Structure 1
């Protein structure tokens, strides 16, 4: 840890800190079933995750026949209601994630969550898993107002400000994460194990990790 020059490490939530794919796929399938659509597998849903619940559902609807905005509005509400009631049944941290967070925190680094999940959902799932107190701030896709989630730099700027300022890096699994970090002028680390919409090498990240056991050595090299 002697060579780690960062004061703040920010993390995406879905597909980065937590494997939420089981619960998110269940919520998508609840909405699809209510509309008489065929269900999707968890592996089919994974690439749809990262841009927020409505974006995820829109892709699910497109994959099963399409829909108009009015139907999407109705089904989006059903998805959110179901997810809120079943938010952490299948969700768990990725291997080595908590040990890595413990090591970073022990060295004085401030940790933060910046996700495109609605803030109340992010807080709910972190609370259910007893992880909330690990983070200096939790910023959701709606925290900065409509249209200001990732890939906007605004949530990253807010993360740095709320953590008291200093040098920062961001860890995520999507183009939204990398774009937001780079727009804010900080390095991005991409997770090969996340919910990838495209090959991880195409994200343009400053580094790639295969697991959390590689995060600290990777940050030391940045």
Structure 2
């Protein structure tokens, strides 16, 4: 660990560690089709990901004509039922993600996942991909209760507590404004991923640094640690 500035690095999941866009888009389109709506492309759905399944579906419904809360409740359940049965058909780690996790582990850095995906779903996906044991903890959007997912600081602070870390030596990696706002509210430096599910240019996320791929992660963390 000599010379490395962080002892704990947290990762968002969808659009950061894993490309889940194909499976999430299929679930959204299943719900849309059940309501007689036109399907959306994966690229149209990608910017909707990050705030949880209901938020994602609400944006999809708005894009195809809108809906009321009762219809959204019904379709949200249909989306979840479909996704539960098709979570890892297309989902895979981003190129270089596993090598970056290995490199951090070799330096004794603790890694964790903080996602707005439901905790049970996050663990199921990580289990299916054989990744769960890599992480000290997995915190989902429902782990701490309503209103305490990202962009609130609570899940990142809970990650630090569970991992017996310190705000001063913790960094976070994500692809959305939810990740950036959560990390900054927790007092933690944050790196944005330009390859994620962006709803705006990566430079506009407000992150302390941006990477275009996992081969850039360790160098970016070292620069953050030096305050560069």
Task: Identify the residue that residue 126 of structure 2 maps to in structure 1.
Answer: 126
What are the within-5 Å matches in structure 2 for residues 158-177 of structure 1? 158-166=158-166, 167-177=169-179
Task: Identify the residue that residue 191 of structure 2 maps to in structure 1.
Answer: 189
Task: Identify the residue that residue 65 of structure 2 maps to in structure 1.
Answer: 65
Report deviation, 1:124.
0.4
- Of 198, 201, 205, 2:200 maps to 198
Instruction: Write the distance in 1 (CA, Å) between the matches of 2:223 and 2:193.
Output: 16
Q: Which range moves more in the overlay, 208-217 or 161-170? A: 161-170
Q: What is the SS of the residue equivalent to 1:171?
A: strand
RMSD: 0.7
Q: Given the alignment of the two structures, is residue 34 of structure 1 paired with residue 43 of structure 2, yes or no?
A: no
Q: Given the alignment of the two structures, is residue 10 of structure 1 paired with residue 28 of structure 2, yes or no?
A: no
Report deviation, 1:165.
1.6
What are the within-5 Å matches in structure 2 for residues 42-81 of structure 1? 42-81=42-81
Flag structure 2 segments of 5+ consecutive residues without an equivalent: none
Instruction: Write the distance in 1 (CA, Å) between the matches of 2:15 and 2:8.
Output: 20
Report deviation, 1:3.
3.2
Instruction: Write the distance in 2 (CA, Å) between the matches of 1:192 and 1:80.
Output: 27
After the TM superposition, which parts of structure 1 deviate over 3 Å for at least 4 consecutive aligned residues?
none
Task: Identify the residue that residue 147 of structure 2 maps to in structure 1.
Answer: 147
Structure 1 length-normalised TM: 0.99
Flag structure 1 segments of 5+ consecutive residues without an equivalent: none
Instruction: Write the distance in 2 (CA, Å) between the matches of 1:3 and 1:176.
Output: 30
Task: Identify the residue that residue 21 of structure 1 maps to in structure 2.
Answer: 21
Instruction: Write the distance in 1 (CA, Å) between the matches of 2:32 and 2:16.
Output: 26
